[in-house]
Amino acid sequence: MTTPSVVTKPYPSSPPALGPERPVAWPKRTVRILPNGMHVVLVEARTFPKISAQLFFRSGNAVVAHSAPGLAEITASVARTGTATRSLRLIEEDLRRMGADLSAYAGADASAIGISGVAEFSESLLELLADVARNASFPEEEFERERRQRLEGLRIQRTTPDFLANERLRRVLFGKHPYAVVAPKEAQVAAYRRSQLEEFYRQNYSPANALLILVGDFSTGPMLEQVEKIFSGWKAAAPAEQKWSAPPRHSGRHVHLVHLPGSVQTQIMLGNLAITRSDPDWYRIVLANSIYGGAFHSRLVMNIREQKGYTYSPRSAINALREFGFFTVHAAVRNEVTAATLTEIFYEMDRMRSLPVTGEELEGARSYLSGVFSLGVATQEGALSQLSTVYLDRLPDDYLETYRARIHALTADDVLAAARRHFDSANGQIVLVGDRAQIADQAALFGDVTEYDAQGARV
């Protein structure tokens, strides 16, 4: 291929128009509440011969944040290491035999056991899932091994800039509310007793507290029968609800500097409390965030990456936990442009609060959110993730079907109002993780500075 072919006509200088938008077939859900209180959601997705399931319990690390931080997480990781009839090795070999992966973890609001594997083994996979959820034996040896792994993992996390930034910001934003705690201290892990894990498991891994979502290559009728057969004999009450104190209100900017000696970058993370998905402003703030820093083509990325070259992956996010949400801005920058980056972050925030976005930005962001939302149903993993948002957050049944229309209905005034309400530039809490000697003077330009070490102690 050494002879160039001849160019016969000019290349079109503008992009072709979009064709007509094709309808999205939203996942068709079969929803049941079993007599024992367990919620079940089934969705057929038959393109690939596999199934994906998540069994959620509506209790996570928040319910133990004041008694034994991180207990929900270690309970999940030890629960998968043995049952009344299966050793750790047998569990892992059973999974492999069925081409499956199992995950067990806990976040702030929920604990979850997930399983995905080959569709023809779906009944055995569900039985294994139920075994881990109901009959975990918490072997002493595995508990001690997991405890040691957690301790070593924590030590490494406390050398990781984005972990340290997130840990500090959550402390600042949530104060005495349990969402303040993202990880335990080493001494708290050392103090866990095996009986505490068993107690957490007994109280919270119960059908009345459970939501099972199953997506995959199956027929709904027979699969529902299997689910009922496997789970309906399980009886236990739901745990009592807890009430927590409200997070603090902050007045004025404040800088929280976490000293990480030898750091060649500053990890910036700043933010403020915002709203949950059930707030009427939710769609507006999602759209405002997308224009501000939530997409590749957003103002923040254009400014501090594509114009100034300060950072590789700046972003902003709207984070929704069950009781509260919060808005965050992230950027890892070379030390000498720490103050310059903060200036631009606040400038772009203030611009969102001061002036309506342009028609082109509005239209582009609405199309972006609408399109990306529909991409989310093209894989089992994506569909499961969307469904878990709907059913864990108890959103309206038509959330998926109406999302795109709600986004398309928003105006520039909606974006401006949401930015004014939820991008709290004047009272933003600023966390900087980096080498104090490199950045302390820059930090002081943005408010009073409180310094911490990586363990969270004031210095």
Partner 1 sequence: MKKLHIPVEHTKLANGLRVVVSPDHSAPFVTVGVYYQIGFRLEPRGRSGFAHLFEHMMFQGSENAGKMEHIRLINASGGLLNGTTNYDVTNYFESVPSNALERMLWLEADRMRSLKVDDENLRNQRDVVKEEVRVNVMNQPYGGFPWLDLPPVAFRNWPNAHNFYGDFNDLDAATLDDVQAFFRTYYSPNNAVLLMLGDLDPAEAFIFAKRYFDDIPAHALPPHADVNESPQTEERRGEVEEKFGTLPALAIGYTVPPRTSKDWYAMAILDRVLHGGRAGRVHRQLVFEKKIAIGIDGGMDVFDVNGPTQMVTQIYHRPEFTSDATIGAYDQIIREVVEKEIGEDELAPVKVKFRADYYSMLEGGMGAHMPRFGLMHYLACFTLFDGDPDRINTVLDSFMAVTPAEVHAVAKKYLIPQNRAIVARRPVSAGEAR
Q: For residue 429, what are the contacts with CB-CB under 8 A and spacing of at least 6? A: 169, 172, 173, 250, 253, 254, 256, 270, 271, 272
| Nearest Cα to Cα of residue 327 among 355, 293, 278 | 293
From first CA to last CA, the distance across the chain in angstroms is 67
State which of positions 80-99 bind partner 1 (CB under 8 A): 88-89, 92-93, 95-99
Residue 140 to residues 80, 131, 310, Cα–Cα distance (Å): 13, 18, 49
Largest CA distance in the chain: 78
Do residues 215 and 45 lie in contact, with contact meaning Cβ atoms separated by under 8 Å?
A: yes
Which of 176/297 has CB closer to partner 1? 297
Binding test (CB under 8 A) with partner 1, winner from 225, 306, 336, 401: 306
Within residues 17-36, the interface with partner 1 by CB under 8 A covers 17-25
* Cβ–Cβ under 8 Å, residues 173 and 247: yes
What distance lies between CA 349 and its chain's CA centroid?
Answer: 23
Apex CA 160: angle with CA 158 and CA 163, to 5°?
Answer: 80
Query: 137 and 84 in contact (C-beta within 8 Å)?
Result: yes
Exposed, middle or buried, 262 (CB in 10 Å: 0-12/13-18/19+)?
exposed
Q: Considering only residues 6, 187, 240, 405, which one is a binding residue for partner 1 as defined by CB under 8 A?
A: 6
The enclosing H or E element of 270 equals strand 265-273
Residues 200-259 that bind partner 1 (CB under 8 A): 217
CB of 129 to partner 1, least distance (A): 16
Q: Which of 148, 193, 235, 394 binds partner 1 (CB under 8 A)?
A: 148
Instruction: Give residues 391-430 in contact with partner 1 (rule: CB under 8 A).
Output: none
Minimum distance from CB of 412 to partner 1 (Å)? 16
Complex with partner 1: residue 65 or 126, whichever CB lies closer: 126
**Residues 6+ away with beta carbon under 8 Å from 369:** 286, 287, 290, 407
Q: Give the one residue of 313, 354, 427, 455 binding partner 1; rule: CB under 8 A.
A: 313
Instruction: List Cα–Cα distances, 144 to 64, 77, 153, in angstroms.
Output: 20, 12, 14
User: Among residues 31 and 375, whose Cβ is nearest to partner 1?
Assistant: 375
Closest to partner 1 by CB, 2 or 251? 2
Report the run of H or E that residue 33 belongs to, with start and end. strand 29-33
- Judged by beta carbon, residue 284 or residue 366, the one nearer partner 1 is 366
Restricting to residues 336-365, name those near partner 1 by CB under 8 A: 363-365
- Shortest reach from residue 376's CB to partner 1, in Å: 6
Out of 101, 140, 401, 413, the residue judged to bind partner 1 by CB under 8 A: 101
Q: Considering only 14-22, 57-65, 249-257, 280-288, which stretch makes contact with partner 1 by CB under 8 A? A: 14-22
- By CB under 8 A, the count of residues binding partner 1 is 94
Among 31, 33, 48, 245, binds partner 1 (CB under 8 A): 48
Contacts (CB under 8 A) with partner 1, residues 126-145: 145
Residue 379 interacts with partner 1 (CB under 8 A)?
yes
Nearest-approach distance from CB 356 to partner 1, in angstroms: 18
Residue 335 C-beta: closest distance to partner 1, Å: 10
In the DSSP assignment, the letter for residue 447 is S
Interaction of residue 119 with partner 1, rule CB under 8 A: yes
Say which residues have a Cβ less than 8 Å from residue 404's Cβ, sequence separation at least 6. Answer: 24, 370, 373, 374
116 binds partner 1 (CB under 8 A): yes
Residue 400: CB minimum distance to partner 1, A:
13
Q: Minimal CA–CA distance to 75: which of 188, 239, 204, 182? A: 204
Closer to partner 1 by Cβ: residue 237 or 375:
375
